[in-house]
Chain A
């Protein structure tokens, strides 16, 4: 057979017993990445809103950072979808001819609404800073500074008014946007859960709890990632200040960091409990009602995917970090370990939903096993392989590094909101 004529999915699907001829694992690693990345976006935004809307003052510093980080994560949420499309050049079509009975059709609209909210909120929070930069850079020589000034001038969009009244208006606008942003962020992600939960053909996916489970675990993963990145950056600043003797003492930075982290941990635990409870409820309900599909679901969950679900997701990804975070006298090091495990646990949850949902045949008489392509030998095995997934994972950090050059999310020297 012509090697160009590879059937999508055939490369990484191994069939066992009876599976319909056309069944393959069509939704692979990138569809695992999609809800994972969207979840991080939504979670980061919710964390920032806890401060902006509900006035959780102790979260102020991490809130600022989460807001900018959620902007860096935002474009990345759409990348996995683009990578998995068989016709990526037609990706604009859902916006041109949206077919609204489809959950996917709304993606462009929900996604761009959310993007607008995040970008406008950041603008209101940082407008004063932009104006200050324009004035400060005017006095400095050099082409680099001139260029930077040009960027900042563009960012102000001509709004140079920084009187008390104008700043108060900015704060109010940011607060309103953050408030609107929470339901939109939840919708963005709950809707990702709806995409799966509404597939009646798939016995594992079909559940009205799916969107809620997705939202809860999204917030968990978003908070965890923001905390982790925050810790890394703060440790780096402390390390640098210790060496160079900066404005702030290392101990001062460490102190502030511990304060913020212990507050954020409480929210993380709350959402973690909600997420786990819902997942367990879903599991118990399926077992209790024991519909036609339960036989095959049980053999997948308690048999073939036991390690993935009960060992990696529930024990290592949920239970262990839960205990680590609950133990008295928390340390930064232990928190880091717990956060990494939480992120891993949420990833495994996405994996077990997406890949696990395709682990059994629609005939309920056979299984499909997924073998993640590691060494790519074609565009498809790169896109939908380990390296494609790693590229998606790395992208938000690259974007954050760039955005942070102009919108510093962790400024300790000035007050911005």
Chain B
């Protein structure tokens, strides 16, 4: 059999190309799987915080730190609880000692006792990443290490983040920080590893009062979605145009 050099090279290239093709090329997809790949996601994760129900116990912060392996005593946290005390003279006193992890066991705010008679109103506000629809942190990441999933959650690739801190600067909510262990940007991701397996986020599960709930905006029958659609809900700092997806019930105008 004769084989010219040209034919030999041609056939070599073809066989190398064929060998390089992964077996996955030939996997058959179910119609649902194929649909999920080409059409938009079936889900949009949202979060609902009912500030009327929050007692500031701090179990959510504890659960979050343990679940997501954020050093327990480091002064940073993926979620935190703020306490607001508005006094009769119109002043607002805010604090969040240890991110609210250990609850609010004293009436003093930064060492200053406030006379209970003088209090007009007081409440707690849990905070976490808003998983914005228009996330500025994703916009400014120079390497694409932080990105938005199809179901709306913003994630950080710990192996690709260069630690420039631009995303931390860009977030108007102050939810981002540097993880002291990985030295990369860190933030709440609605416990993506849990919710994508059908489990509840750690803080949602830990909350004894149902102040934290999660839902799917694309499912009209979802109880959380129904609340967001039918009741008067509020979001934080909508003036930044970030389109936050954490909704609040009973949010006071004093909340920053």
Contacts and interface: CB of A to CB of B under 8 A. Distances in A.
B224 to A, nearest CB: 25
B163 A22 contact: no
A333 interface: no
Interface in A265-321: 292
Instruction: Please report whether the interface of chain B is mostly helix, strand, loop or mixed according to DSSP.
Output: loop
B165 A27 contact: yes
How many A residues touch the partner, as a band?
35 or more
Contact of B140 (A1, A85, A101): A101
Nearest to A195: B166
B174 A20 contact: yes
A10 interface: yes
B180 A102 contact: no
A201 B162 contact: no
Interface string A371-406: 000000000000000000000000000000000000
Of residues A2, A20, A21, A26, which shows the largest number of chain B Cβ atoms within 10 Å of its Cβ?
Answer: A21
B144 A86 contact: no
A5 interface: yes
A99 B143 contact: yes
B143 A85 contact: no
A147 interface: no
A7 B180 contact: yes
A98 B75 contact: no
Interface residues of B, number: 51
Interface string B160-176: 11111110111111111
Given A26-B169, A87-B161, A99-B143, A365 B94 contact: yes
A22 B75 CA distance: 7
Nearest to A364: B256
A20 B174 CA distance: 6
A22 B180 contact: no
A6 interface: yes
A363 B141 contact: no
B137 to A, nearest CB: 9
A300 B80 CA distance: 26
A379 to B, nearest CB: 12
A151 interface: no
B95 interface: yes
Contacts of B95: 18
A132 interface: no
Contacts of A417: none
Given A364-B256, A365-B256, 6 more contacts: A21-B99, A22-B77, A85-B163, A85-B164, A90-B160, A97-B143
